[in-house]
Amino acid sequence: MPQPYQARQSGPLRGDVRVPGDKSISHRALLFGALASGETLIHGLLRSADVLAGAAALEAMGGAVSRSEDESAPWRIRGRGTGGLVAPEGPLDLGNSGTAVRLLMGAIAGHDMTATLTGDASLSRRPMGRILAPLAHMGLEVIGQEPEKARLPVTVRGSSDLVPICYELPVPSAQIKSAVLLAGLHAAGETTVIERTPSRDHSERMLAHFGAALEVSELAGAGGEGEGGRAITVCGHAELVGREVRVPGDPSSAAFPVAAALIVPGSEVVVRGVLANPTRFGFYETLLEMGADLKIESKRTIAGEPIADITARSGPLRGVRVPAERAPSMIDEYPILAVLAAFAEGETRMEGLAELRVKECDRLAVTAEGLNAAGVEAGIEGDTLIVRGRGPNRVPGGARIATELDHRIAMAFLTLGLASRAPIVVDDIGMIATSFPNFLELMGGLGAELTPLEGD
């Protein structure tokens, strides 16, 4: 049953909080743990529906996960060693999680086994060809579908005899990069991925942490198209060793309390221990350009990842141009950035957003339509999203948003409703649990007026 929720104009938001662990790092910690020999200990794992779906799939292939109910206690996973997963007895259901299904495809590719992968209605609409095409070149068989056009449910047959490849990413996607590198761990020889625009580099960092032989080289170039970037090479027949992982706070989740603090007058919110990896920090860079009252302090490195404490205070924002090159470092933050742009003075142009069309929903269209419904002028030109800011206290609101099984659309528009003149209703909050299970409690604790819509 959908659970509609309402967000109303709220008094000043105040508090000092931590957001749950980073989703990308949590998925990888479990998966690399399953492929390593020995035990991996994961502190601060995100216990969200997406990550739990990934964990269940790994268990179905022989990974032994010991869960801890106590939020502060680590999870453990006893791995099977590289190439040691076993064929699952039934289909693997990855729910709403693109990251889980795509990274798993890369791992399964290197195993002599057949597996069927399924997901919910949103995941079943998303393209899998971008992953399956390079994996098919390496020797993965896609049964009954053309790899390039495949959609879930997909049945694949892996091989313990994969061929290494050198693959240039057609789109800047960490999921494609990671899937090819994971397959490469099982191939005979060196597998290289070339990316022209840097995408999140957690797989590279964590593979090195787990003992894989991995090399990252910067490619020379004059900056023209098809030049520059990075080449990432892994050696096949790798032996990963179980490790300890500490998962920092998810900057994509922190974006919501930070954004709310910026637009609700009189607010001041601190979010501690947020991942500040430069391949994930484009949103915060953009906020500073918009003139946001933001302090990014106490930068430190924990388990190979930079983290920081972020303090956000309400104040005026100005519209900016967000260049296409920045998109991969903030790809999941555009819905909430577009919401902030509505409260800014002047126009915000967000360029190079083609990838938003293939997220949990068509985020480009749904964000623009949602803003229009809330009385904010927003339009799409090619793959640029343009929002004409109305300035603080002048966003009308008063809309009901169809969230289309997309957690970030739900959270972004609930955030808008905290500062718009009339309330915002989102048709379902169920999907928020895929990435930010305590969103409502955390925001409520800061003073956000979020309530179930009774009798809907």
In angstroms, the CA 254 to CA 17 distance is: 9
In angstroms, the CA 178 to CA 87 distance is: 21
Q: Which one of 175, 329, 348, 434 is in contact with ligand S3P (CB under 6 A)?
A: 175
Number of residues that bind ligand S3P (CB under 6 A): 11
Helix (H) or strand (E) holding 18: strand 14-18
Q: Which of 50, 93, 201, 332 does the annotation list as catalytic?
A: 332
CA distances from 437 to 20, 292, 440 (A): 8, 27, 8
- Residue 109's Cβ-side half-sphere holds a number of Cα atoms within 13 Å equal to 33
CA distances from 362 to 82, 353, 354, 402, 443 (A): 36, 11, 10, 12, 26
In angstroms, the CA 220 to CA 367 distance is: 37
CA distances from 190 to 8, 88, 138, 171, 454 (A): 55, 28, 12, 22, 58
- Which range binds ligand S3P by CB under 6 A, 9-17, 169-177, 278-286, 344-352? 169-177
In angstroms, the CA 206 to CA 24 distance is: 11
Q: Could you tell me if residue 119 is left (phi over 0), alpha (psi between -120 and 50 degrees) or otherwise beta?
A: beta
In angstroms, the CA 380 to CA 451 distance is: 32
Nearer to ligand S3P, 159 or 178 (CB): 178
The DSSP code for 354 is: G
- Which range binds ligand S3P by CB under 6 A, 170-178, 253-261, 269-277, 340-348? 170-178
If one asks whether residue 99 binds ligand S3P (CB under 6 A), the answer comes out as yes
Nearer to ligand S3P, 212 or 395 (CB): 212
If one asks whether residue 279 binds ligand S3P (CB under 6 A), the answer comes out as no
Nearer to ligand S3P, 305 or 332 (CB): 332
Does 161 participate in catalysis according to the annotation?
no
CB 289 within 8 A of CB 260: no
> Where are the strands (E) in 22-95, listed by range?
36-37, 39-43, 64-66, 75-78, 92-93
CB 104 within 8 A of CB 31: yes
Q: Residues 293-332: x/- map of binding to ligand S3P (CB under 6 A)?
A: --------------------------------------xx
What are 58's two structure tokens? 């790994």
The DSSP code for 431 is: G
If one asks whether residue 104 binds ligand S3P (CB under 6 A), the answer comes out as no
Q: Could you tell me if residue 342 is left (phi over 0), alpha (psi between -120 and 50 degrees) or otherwise beta?
A: alpha
- Which range binds ligand S3P by CB under 6 A, 39-47, 51-59, 133-141, 173-181? 173-181
Q: Residues 338-377: x/- map of binding to ligand S3P (CB under 6 A)?
A: -----------------x----------------------
In angstroms, the CA 350 to CA 379 distance is: 11
Name the closest residue to ligand S3P (Cβ): 24
What minimum distance in Å lies between the beta carbon of 453 and ligand S3P?
A: 28
If one asks whether residue 200 binds ligand S3P (CB under 6 A), the answer comes out as yes
What minimum distance in Å lies between the beta carbon of 149 and ligand S3P?
A: 17
- Which range binds ligand S3P by CB under 6 A, 132-140, 168-176, 224-232, 395-403? 168-176
Nearer to ligand S3P, 93 or 250 (CB): 250
What minimum distance in Å lies between the beta carbon of 226 and ligand S3P?
A: 20
If one asks whether residue 122 binds ligand S3P (CB under 6 A), the answer comes out as no
Nearer to ligand S3P, 13 or 179 (CB): 179
Nearer to ligand S3P, 24 or 415 (CB): 24
What minimum distance in Å lies between the beta carbon of 269 and ligand S3P?
A: 23
Scan residues 8-27 and list those touching ligand S3P (CB under 6 A): 24
Q: Which one of 46, 94, 162, 174 is in contact with ligand S3P (CB under 6 A)?
A: 174
- Which range binds ligand S3P by CB under 6 A, 86-94, 107-115, 174-182, 315-323? 174-182
What minimum distance in Å lies between the beta carbon of 262 and ligand S3P?
A: 22
- Rg, the chain, Cα only: 21
Nearer to ligand S3P, 418 or 432 (CB): 432
What minimum distance in Å lies between the beta carbon of 212 and ligand S3P?
A: 17
**Helices 251-263 and 282-289 meet at what angle, rounded to 10?**
20
Catalytic annotation, residues: 332
Q: Which residues bind ligand S3P (CB under 6 A)?
A: 24, 99, 173-175, 178, 199-200, 331-332, 355
